[in-house]
Structure 1
Amino acid sequence: MRAHKFDVALSAPAGSALLSDRLADLAVDALIDEADLSPKPALVDRRSSGAHTDLHLGLMHASALSLWPAFKEMADAATSIGEVNPQLRETIGRFGREGEAAMLRTTHGVNTHRGAIWALGLLVTAAALNPDDFSSAGLCQRAAHLASISDRHQPVTVSHGRAATQKYGAKGAREQAQMGFPAVTQAGLPQLARSRAAGHGEQNARLDALLAIMSTLTDTCVLHRAGEEGLHAMHNGAQQVLAAGGSATLGGRRALNQLDQRLLSLNASPGGAADLLAACLFIDSLERALGDVMRNI
């Protein structure tokens, strides 16, 4: 099992490590765990680069690690400012842009985690705002409130995701956050719990959580790369895997392989769903990793 900086921090005496450090550790761990999860349909994993020609697993790891300072600074800002307001929104927006710049320097210009910076940045900030409430409902409510505030300093740019939302009239990452991450709270986390309760094993449970997100999400990464045909293929294929019993069953694995091949043929990579799986894993880890420690500080 991989050793993380967080594992060392948690073994230290209660209160000796800053909350912001621990939250940044968990955010980076969520990104690395999402990248390592295999076999993911048309996504970078331990098997291959999926539908991508410019990405590989090592690059995803390096990108995740480059974001640690930005996540820590967001958590520090939340602790310092102490409430959801325009100052906090603009402060974490600045740290997010600095984190994106660090990511692009690390990847030599390849966008590996832009969407994840947005989602996890909001959730890290929301966690630091109220360490007494790591519930998914509380976290996502605070994150939604924060995401709904305008950032006056946000540059006007047209990303692939934004272009897809405009072309297809779809709701993208911004709207997902402003609604409180329903793909996470209503699909990913419940499926993760169901698959664990069924004894499907942790990796299969995480794959099932990804598939639950993919089954309904309007993934603008897929829309950009493969249009509505790709989005329908993702929705239908993910639903078929879950209907067959999930990734832990023989039928589910066959359906998962078929989904992988279909998305690869369309050059459709569900990057938005992957970002939200990382958010799901971050939320899932919070109470288990920090709850008892924070109550004793």
Structure 2
Amino acid sequence: MNAQTYEIWKEEAAYGEYIAQLAVMSLVDEADLTPKPGLVDRNSSGSHSDMTIETMHRSAYALKDTFVKMAEVSFYQKPSQQLREQLAEIGRYGEQDMFKATGGVNTHKGAIWSLGLLASAAAINGPNVTAWQITQTAGAIARYPDRKSPKQATNGKKVRHRYGVPGAVGEAQQGFPHIMIYALPALKKAREKGASERHAKLDALLSLMASLDDTCILHRGGKEALSITKAGARAVLKAGGSLTPAGMKALSFLDEKLVSINASPGGSADLLAAAIFLDRLSNLSAFR
């Protein structure tokens, strides 16, 4: 390895590490965000009797090597069948790491898919690109099939077929429209109003909950639970969002309702983590 090649390798390794660290931080930020309706946060386990905030943290940190590897295989690549299947294989090993860290609890399977694609797309594009460029690249990767995917039907597949919704797969293949149309604009709008980062991220989550056909909600409670979730999230936003007392009161009511029907907007939570990742990636001051 000559000196120039070594310097390029060092820069790639540093950027791959940076991408992975941002992905992990985004998962931790999403978990720590409080209060979240029906979800694990610092106050409660929401609708998840098998998870705690500590479980979520262990899972997030256990996935760092997965995201590093996804970035590393993506440098100098373009979306392709080969890359899609390389990422899928790394992701399946990542799921094993997650289950080891959580004692068999599925905390972040959906996030491995979404953040994994975005981490790969970030590595392909390099620093100083827009969220739109990253999501479009991720979508191009996702549109290739994983020919080595296990044949057994997952909960996500069953829900997509039963209710005719895109699910996490369709969301990625379309270039993450709910992140681009709802979550990132909600972050920007809340910040422009002077909201804290906590309130901005809560409003971004609520914007996702109000619009997404969340397969986690559908799996747990069907169409009725999804209708309750969307209406409740819209009520919070209509009351001024999490920044207002009326909005927080509506949010608390929605949380109680979702817990009472054992519903959890896990798909929205995964997309929030992905939105946080893209938002952080737009500020590369830490990568120098």
* TM-score tier (shorter): over 0.9
Distance verdict in 2 for CA 1:286–1:174, change over 3 Å: same
Number of residues paired by the alignment?
279
User: Aligned to 2:157, which of 149, 155, 162?
Assistant: 162
Q: Percent of counterpart pairs with the same letter?
A: 46
Residue 40 of structure 2 corresponds to residue 44 of structure 1: yes
Structure 1 match to 2:55: 59
CA distance in 2, matches of 1:18, 1:292: 11
The alpha carbon displacement at 1:237 in A equals 0.6
Q: What letter corresponds to residue 24 of structure 1 in structure 2?
A: A
**TM-score, normalization by structure 1:** 0.91
Q: What letter corresponds to residue 175 of structure 2 in structure 1?
A: G
User: Aligned to 2:129, which of 134, 143, 156?
Assistant: 134
CA distance in 2, matches of 1:132, 1:105: 33
Structure 2 match to 1:89: 84
Q: Could you give the per-residue CA deviations for residues 176-205 of structure 1, whole angstroms, max 9, x where no partner exists?
A: 000111110000000010001101111000
CA distance in 2, matches of 1:94, 1:109: 19
Q: What letter corresponds to residue 33 of structure 1 in structure 2?
A: D
Structure 2 match to 1:33: 29
Structure 2 match to 1:242: 237
Quick check: 2:13–2:72 contact (8 Å CA) kept in 1?
no
Quick check: 1:133–1:139 contact (8 Å CA) kept in 2?
no
Once the two structures are overlaid, the 10-residue window that deviates more, 200-209 or 100-109, is 100-109
Q: What letter corresponds to residue 65 of structure 1 in structure 2?
A: Y
The alpha carbon displacement at 1:157 in A equals 2.5
CA RMSD after TM alignment: 1.5
Regions of 4+ moved over 3 Å: 14-17, 291-294
Question: Mind listing any 5+ residue stretches in structure 1 that lack a counterpart?
Answer: 1-13
User: Aligned to 2:171, which of 159, 173, 176?
Assistant: 176
The alpha carbon displacement at 1:243 in A equals 0.8
**TM-score, normalization by structure 2:** 0.94
Distance verdict in 2 for CA 1:264–1:292, change over 3 Å: closer
Q: What letter corresponds to residue 21 of structure 1 in structure 2?
A: E
The alpha carbon displacement at 1:292 in A equals 7.9
CA distance in 2, matches of 1:98, 1:291: 31
The alpha carbon displacement at 1:168 in A equals 1.4
Residue 98 of structure 2 corresponds to residue 111 of structure 1: no
CA distance in 2, matches of 1:281, 1:118: 15
Q: Secondary structure at the match of 2:225?
A: helix
